[in-house]
Chains A and B, each alone.
Chain A
Amino acid sequence: MGEPQVTKHAVRTDFKKSAGLALANARLGAAMNAATLRQDTGRRAIMPELGDPLVVRELAKAIKNHTLQNLDRYLAQLADNVRMNGGVVHFAQTAEQARAIICDIARKAGIKTIVKAKSMASEEIELNDALEAAGFDVAETDLGEYILQLAAEKPSHIVTPVLHKTREDIGQLFHEKLGIEYTGDPPTLTAAARKVLREKFRHADMGITGANFGVAETGTICIVTNEGNGRFCSSRPRVVVSLMGMEKVIPRMRDLPVFLKLLAKSATGQRITCYTSLMTGPRRPGDFDGPEEYHLVIMDRGRSEILGSEFRDALRCIRCGACLNACPVYRKLGGHAYQSVYPGPIGKVITPLLDGVIEYEQLPLASSLCGACLEACPVRIDLPTLLLQHRDLISRRNRMPFVWKWGFKGWRIAMQSRFIYSWGSWFGRLFLSVTAKDGWVSRLFGPGAGWTDHRDFPLMAAKPFHRRWATIQQNVNEEGKS
C-alpha cells in the first residue's frame, strides 16, 4: 500500500520521511494508540502483584549488571553445561557467521523443512533469507511472524509484530496466499494458519528458536510463548537450533524466576506466558521424543562493542517491549518508521550501535526525553541518559547541523551574561511582536517553523520576572509586615 519501509527488502529512507508517512496514516495511528495503550495499561495494572515492583526490577538489574561484568565466564559455563547435556555449542561473532553456522547445521543433517519460532536475533541477521537461498523451506510459526512471512513484511513491534495490519488486511492476505474464502474473523483466520502450520510441525525436520534466557548453571535455554509454536519447534524436529544473543545468559536457575516474573507482566500485562519451555540439550538416550541434535548458537554481532562502552546498560534488555508501549513517539509512529529490527526507545539506543551510527543517526534525536521508557523498563535501563550520550557523540563527531552548533554557541554566550540574556529577550520580543496577534506568533522561520507549523508561539512577557524583582521584593516585605 505504498509504504516502502514496511516491505522486507525495502531500501531505507530518511527517518523524517518514514515518520511522515506514518503520521499521515490515520488508521495506523489509531491502531498503535489502542494497542500500545492497552498493553501499557495492562503492565501498570499487574506489576503491583510483585509487592514492590521497584525492588524486583532493581534485583533484575543487579543480576544483569553482574552478569555483563562477567559475561565471558558465564558464557563459558553455559557452553560447558549445554555440552554436558549433549548439545553442541557454536560461536558467531558476526551475522554472516551465524547464518553460515545454521545453514551448515541444516545441510549436514540433510534438512528439508524448517519451522521457526519467534526470534528477534534471527530478524537481525535476516536468517530466513539465507536459509531460503540455501534451498531450505522455512516456515515462521508464530502467528504474527507467519503473517509477515506471507506478506513479505517486517515486524512493527518486537512482541506483537503485526499491529500495523487490520483483520481485513490479514483476511485479504490469507485469501490471496492460502486460497481460503475471504474473512476478517480472527478465530477463523487463526484456524487457517493453525491448519497449515500443524502440517509443518508434523513433518519438519529442523526447528529454530530464539532464547529469552540461557541459564549458565544448568545449560538450559528458556523460551516463552503463548501459542505453543515454540514447544513444537523444540520438540518435534530431529534437529533443533537455538540462536541466542550473548547478553541473554543469566547465572543460575534461581535467577530465572526473577526475570520470568517481570517479562510477561511488562510486555502484555499477563502474569506469565502460556508456555515457558526449558530446553536442556537433545533427547536423552532412550527418550521417545525430542531432538537428536541440539545446537546453541551464541551470537555477538556488535554486542561486545556495546559491552565495552558507556552504552553497556542497554544490554540488560530482555526484549519485553514495555518501552515501546509506553513511548509517546512510538505510539504515534508504529515500528516501521524506525526502519530497524528494534524500534521504540530501546531501538533508538541500540540500532545505531548495532547497525551504524551514521545510518541511524536520526533515531537518538527523535525523542522528547519524557522518561516513560525508563519508568516502564523492568530492568531499569536509563534510556533517556543513553539517548543523551548518543547526542553528545553525534555533536562530537561534528555531525549536528551547523545552525544548532553555532546557535548553541550563541545561546551559551547569552546564558552566561545576564545583560545579553535580558536584552536579547527584549529584542526578541520586539522582533516577534511585529507579526504577533494577542501576544502569539503564528509563523516562525528557519528551525522555528517546526514549531509554528503545528501551533502558535507565545511572545515573551512585556516585563520578565527579573525586571519585576525589585518591586516584588518591596511588596512582599510590606505584605509580610501587615
Chain B
Amino acid sequence: MRVSLFATCLGDLFYPDIPECVVRILNRLGHRIDFPEEQTCCGQPALNSGFMDDFKAVAARMIRIFENAEVIVTPSGSCCSIVREYYPHAFRDDPTMHAKAVAMAGKTFELVEFLQKKLKVDWKPWNLSYSGSATYHYSCHHRGIDMSPQDVIGLIKEFRGLDFRLLEKMEQCCGFGGTFSVKFGDISGAMVRDKVACIKATGADLLICNDGGCTMNIIGACRREGFHIEAKHIAQMLDEAMRNGKSR
C-alpha cells in the first residue's frame, strides 16, 4: 500500500522522532511511505477556539494536499478525529468541498487503529518485547475515532516482558485540550496534576502516551514536580522492538 504520512504539527515540530518511527514501522510491514511536504496542521487549534473561517482555510489546504493519497496515517488520535469528524462538518454547506472532505475522512487513520483494525498485523513473527514496567494514558480523542483503551492495551500486551500497570482514571482527560491549557490554565493545571499523581501511583518507569499534546502537558507537569518518568509513543516502542525482534 502507498501510505501518506500526516505527521501533525506537534509531531513534526516537537516530537519528530515519532513520525520517523511510523515511517520505519510501515516500511518494515511492506508499505511505501510518502510525505506530502506542504502539510502543516490539521487546523484543530482554530476550530477549538471558535475561529471557523481560519479552521476552514487551513483544512481546505490540507484536503488539497492529501487529495491524491491512497491512505493517510497519523500518529495522533486527536488530529485524526478532527479530519474524520470535523472536516466534513465544516464544509457541510459546500457540496464540492464536502465531498472532498468526506473522501479524506474515509481514508485517514490513526496509527494504532491502522495497524490493529485495518492491517490487522500479526505481531507474533516480530517477537515484540520490552523489559520494564509501563503504564498507559488514554488520549481523549481516541473516543472520536472509536478506539477504546482496550484497543491500545491489546497492542501494548503484545510486548513480551512488559510489566503493564493499569493507570487509575486512565480515561480521564490530562487537561491539555489545546488552547484550553493556556486559557484555563488553573483548571488545566489541576487536571494534569491529578494525572501525574495517578501515574506516580503506578510506580511504572515508562508512560506510554500516544498524543503529542498529552505528552508535552504531562511530562511538562512531571518536570515541574521534579518527578522523572520516561514517555514514549507506541510508535517508538514498536520501532525499537521490531528492530530488536527482527535481529533475533
Question: In the complex they form, do A and B come into direct contact, defined as C-beta atoms under 8 angstroms apart?
Answer: yes
Residues of A in contact with B (beta carbons under 8 Å apart): 16, 19-20, 23, 29, 33, 37, 328-329, 331-333, 365-372, 374-375, 385, 388, 390-395, 400, 404-405, 408-409, 411-412, 414-416, 418, 421, 425, 440, 442, 447-451, 453-458, 460-461, 463-466, 468-469, 472-473, 476, 479-480
Q: Which residues of B contact A416 (CB under 8 A)?
A: 40, 57-58, 61
**Cβ A464 vs Cβ B13 within 8 A:** yes
Q: Are A412 and B38 also in contact (CB < 8 A) when A23-B190, A405-B51, A479-B27 are?
A: no
Q: Are A415 and B41 also in contact (CB < 8 A) when A368-B180, A375-B143 are?
A: yes
Query: Within the assembled complex, what's the spacing in Å between the Cα atoms of A389 and B37?
Result: 32
User: Contacting A455 at CB < 8 Å: which of B12, B40, B186, B223?
Assistant: B223
Min CB–CB distance B5 → chain A (angstroms): 9
Q: Which residues of B contact A16 (CB under 8 A)?
A: 184, 186
Number of interface residues of B (CB under 8 A): 71
Q: Which residues of A contact B183 (CB under 8 A)?
A: 365, 447, 450
Q: Confirm or deny: B135 has a beta carbon within 8 angstroms of a beta carbon on chain A.
A: no
Min CB–CB distance A14 → chain B (angstroms): 12
Min CB–CB distance A55 → chain B (angstroms): 15
Min CB–CB distance A376 → chain B (angstroms): 11
Complex interface residues of chain B between 177 and 223 (CB less than 8 A to chain A): 177-194, 216-217, 219-221, 223
**Cβ B54 vs Cβ A371 within 8 A:** no
**Cβ A460 vs Cβ B13 within 8 A:** yes
Residues of B in contact with A (beta carbons under 8 Å apart): 7, 9, 11-17, 19-20, 23-24, 27, 33, 35, 37-41, 43, 45-52, 54, 57-58, 61, 86, 89, 140-141, 143-144, 169, 171-173, 175-194, 216-217, 219-221, 223-224
Closest B residue to A362 using CB positions:
B184
Min CB–CB distance B186 → chain A (angstroms): 6
Per DSSP, chain A at the interface is: helix
**Cβ B224 vs Cβ A332 within 8 A:** no
**Cβ A450 vs Cβ B185 within 8 A:** yes
Q: Which residues of A contact B178 (CB under 8 A)?
A: 368
Closest A residue to B26 using CB positions:
A476
Q: Which residues of A contact B19 (CB under 8 A)?
A: 465
Total A-B pairs, Cβ < 8 A: 202
Query: Within the assembled complex, what's the spacing in Å between the Cα atoms of A378 and B192?
Result: 28
**Cβ A458 vs Cβ B220 within 8 A:** yes
A-B contact pairs, 14 of them (CB 8 A): A19-B186, A367-B180, A368-B140, A369-B140, A370-B141, A375-B143, A393-B50, A395-B50, A416-B40, A447-B182, A447-B183, A461-B17, A465-B11, A465-B13
**Cβ B54 vs Cβ A412 within 8 A:** yes
Closest B residue to A409 using CB positions:
B54
Query: Within the assembled complex, what's the spacing in Å between the Cα atoms of A454 and B193?
Result: 9
**Cβ A408 vs Cβ B49 within 8 A:** yes
**Cβ B220 vs Cβ A20 within 8 A:** no
Query: Within the assembled complex, what's the spacing in Å between the Cα atoms of A412 and B45?
Result: 10
Q: Are A368 and B175 also in contact (CB < 8 A) when A329-B191, A392-B50, A404-B49 are?
A: yes
**Cβ A329 vs Cβ B27 within 8 A:** no
Q: Which residues of A contact B43 (CB under 8 A)?
A: 415
10 closest A-B pairs by beta carbon, nearest first, are A368-B177, A450-B185, A454-B189, A391-B50, A455-B220, A450-B182, A370-B173, A370-B140, A465-B16, A455-B221
Q: Which residues of B contact A421 (CB under 8 A)?
A: 9, 40-41
User: Contacting B220 at CB < 8 Å: which of A37, A333, A418, A457?
Assistant: A457
Q: Are A372 and B173 also in contact (CB < 8 A) when A454-B192, A463-B16 are?
A: yes
Interface centre among B15, B38, B171, B187 (most CB of A within 10 A): B187
Query: Within the assembled complex, what's the spacing in Å between the Cα atoms of A416 and B43?
Result: 10
Interface centre among A442, A461, A463 (most CB of B within 10 A): A461
Query: Within the assembled complex, what's the spacing in Å between the Cα atoms of A211 and B185?
Result: 39
Q: Which residues of B contact A415 (CB under 8 A)?
A: 9, 40-41, 43, 58, 61
Query: Within the assembled complex, what's the spacing in Å between the Cα atoms of A91 and B46?
Result: 43
List 18 other contacts, CB 8 Å, given A454-B221, A455-B223, A466-B7. Answer: A23-B187, A329-B187, A369-B177, A370-B143, A372-B171, A388-B50, A395-B49, A411-B46, A412-B46, A421-B40, A454-B193, A456-B220, A458-B216, A465-B7, A465-B12, A465-B13, A468-B16, A480-B27
